[in-house]
Amino acid sequence: MKRDVNTRNIKTIMNLAGKFLTIILVATAAALAAGCTAADRSSANGANGAAPNTDAGVAEVRPAAGTTPAGGAPSAFRAELKTEPSEVRAGQPAALVISIKDVKRGGNVRDLAIVHEKPMHLLIVSNDLNEFYHVHPEPQEDSTYRVSHTFPAGGAYKLYADFTPPGAEQVVERLNLTVAGDTRPAVALVADESGTKTVDGLRVTMKPDKSLRAGEELMLDFAVADAGTGKPVTDLQPYLGALAHFVLISADGTDFLHAHPMEKTKMTDARGNGAHEATPHSHGAKTARGGDKNTLQASASEVSAHTSFPRPGLYKIWAQFQRGGRVSTVPFVVRVAAAATDAEATARAADGDSSPPVSADGIKVTVSAKGYEPARLEVKKGQPVKIMFYRPDAGNCGGEVVFPKLGIRKKLPVGKTTVVEVMPKESGEFAFTCGMGMLRGALVVSQ
């Protein structure tokens, strides 16, 4: 009898312990679920290929398709986004917290390079590209970057994080965020009929130096005048280290270009004659050329953007200027035509000539949206080298190759092989880039 009582007591204790353990596990799971942000849940979706989470307030940790560093190769760094609160609502301030992860080594990346006076540029646009915000997350003690932002309306937004890790190339990652609250009607993207816009008392005229075609490098010239007097402004102020900033995004949000600002300058000689040309803004306002006879003087009313549109279609351009301490954002919408040589490249491929022949003593380099393949060329000192660049399509900014230290610059037409001959007289590493400096490679010369 005592043995039966003891058995029943043991069973009762075990049942109670099991129920207590179940309660603890359920409560723990609920606490963990509540503590996870929507961004964390989205990261799991990204890992298994599930569709993006579209719940209100959700911030997707994984970058959207097509996100690459400036050079076109897969990035060794990844941006992760969390928000505080986890549900972002229209009209209410929210903290955007971005962590830069080192994919290979793990952990957060500290001390991002300072580019245009900031470690990170965050460009926020609505899905219809009607809203645009250029903000700058600041570094925190926990190695994250934080900025507060208030979204005026609910709906889908894209966030482009532009940063440069120490010792690495520039990276641009696209993150998606869905904001809760009332949405506004979408605004259709339509190409502008006029190249002149008036914003905040500035009358800005944009004029390309050639027809807009995919894959072709060009200059977008911006003339800035006072809207009241019509006269060119003389008091533009540096904004983030330059007289202007330019951002270009394709209609579908896939292509993002942070264009290089160039100051429009005027070359004058002793007689007062001159011609305009564009020079990088980092050269400063005055640069001497040719001794005392020629002096380069900056014109504060004219700024240019050196860029290339990777694909045909609609693009929106935001030009930012500062005057009187106020930053003005001037939007333009343009339509980019297909590359003039695309038909020729297609015909060549149809004839079986898509891969041009390479001589036995040449090194073939393919130029595409992925960059230079191969990007590292190893040669011997004192031996002549033929580098045969082949650009199969116009979906990239590689319309020109530049060897700065060797003084070589050559155009790379689509569908053709361009030979660059080099006689390396010194050992070392000689960089080569596209004309915009976004695609990068290296010629490594050994003894």
pLDDT tens digits, 196-211: 999 999 999 999 999 9
233 and 247 fall within a common domain: yes
Residue 15 pLDDT class (50, 70, 90 cuts): low
Residue 393 pLDDT class (50, 70, 90 cuts): confident
Q: Does 184 map to a domain?
A: no
Q: Is the pLDDT of residue 23 over 50?
A: no
Q: Does 2 map to a domain?
A: no
347 and 332 fall within a common domain: no
46 and 80 fall within a common domain: yes
Q: Is the pLDDT of residue 40 over 70?
A: no
164 and 245 fall within a common domain: no
Residue at 149: amino acid letter: H
Q: Does 245 map to a domain?
A: yes
Q: Does 12 map to a domain?
A: no
219 and 175 fall within a common domain: no
Residue 262 pLDDT class (50, 70, 90 cuts): low
Q: Is the pLDDT of residue 395 over 90?
A: no
For residue 364, the domain's CATH number is 2.60.40.420
Q: Is the pLDDT of residue 187 over 90?
A: yes
235 and 366 fall within a common domain: no
Longest dimension (CA), the chain: 123
Q: Is the pLDDT of residue 43 over 80?
A: no
353 and 331 fall within a common domain: no
pLDDT value of residue 316: 97
Question: Which of 4-8, 366-370, 430-434 is modeled with the greatest confidence?
Answer: 430-434
In the structure encoding, which two tokens stand for residue 134, read together? 């250029």
Residue 279 pLDDT class (50, 70, 90 cuts): very low
Q: Does 216 map to a domain?
A: yes
For residue 218, the domain's CATH number is 2.60.40.10
SS3 label, residue 203:
strand
Residue 290 pLDDT class (50, 70, 90 cuts): very low
Q: Does 428 map to a domain?
A: yes
- Closest-CA residue to 200 (of 300, 322, 334, 304): 322
Q: How far from chain centre, in Å, is Cα 198?
A: 27
Domain boundary pick from 127, 154, 179: 179
pLDDT value of residue 397: 77
Domain boundary pick from 128, 153, 179: 179
318 and 213 fall within a common domain: yes
Helices (H), 53-145: none
Q: What is the pTM of this model?
A: 0.65
206 and 108 fall within a common domain: no
Q: Is the pLDDT of residue 157 over 60?
A: yes
CB 100 within 8 A of CB 155: no
pLDDT tens digits, 209-248: 999 998 888 889 999 999 999 999 999 999 988 889 999 9
**Between residues 439 and 93, which one has the greater pLDDT?**
93
Q: Does 257 map to a domain?
A: yes
Q: What percent of the chain clears pLDDT 90, i.e. is strictly above it?
A: 48
72 and 157 fall within a common domain: yes
Q: Does 168 map to a domain?
A: yes
In the structure encoding, which two tokens stand for residue 208, read together? 């390309």
268 and 156 fall within a common domain: no
pLDDT value of residue 215: 82
User: Which residues constitute the domain of residue 392?
Assistant: 342-446
pLDDT value of residue 263: 52
Q: Is the pLDDT of residue 144 over 90?
A: yes
What span, in angstroms and rounded, lies between the C-alpha atoms of 202 and 329?
10
For residue 163, the domain's CATH number is 2.60.40.1930
pLDDT value of residue 218: 86
What span, in angstroms and rounded, lies between the C-alpha atoms of 259 and 397?
12
Q: How many domains does the chain have?
A: 3
pLDDT value of residue 162: 94
pLDDT value of residue 67: 38
Domain boundary pick from 148, 179, 210: 179
SS3 label, residue 95:
strand
395 and 265 fall within a common domain: no
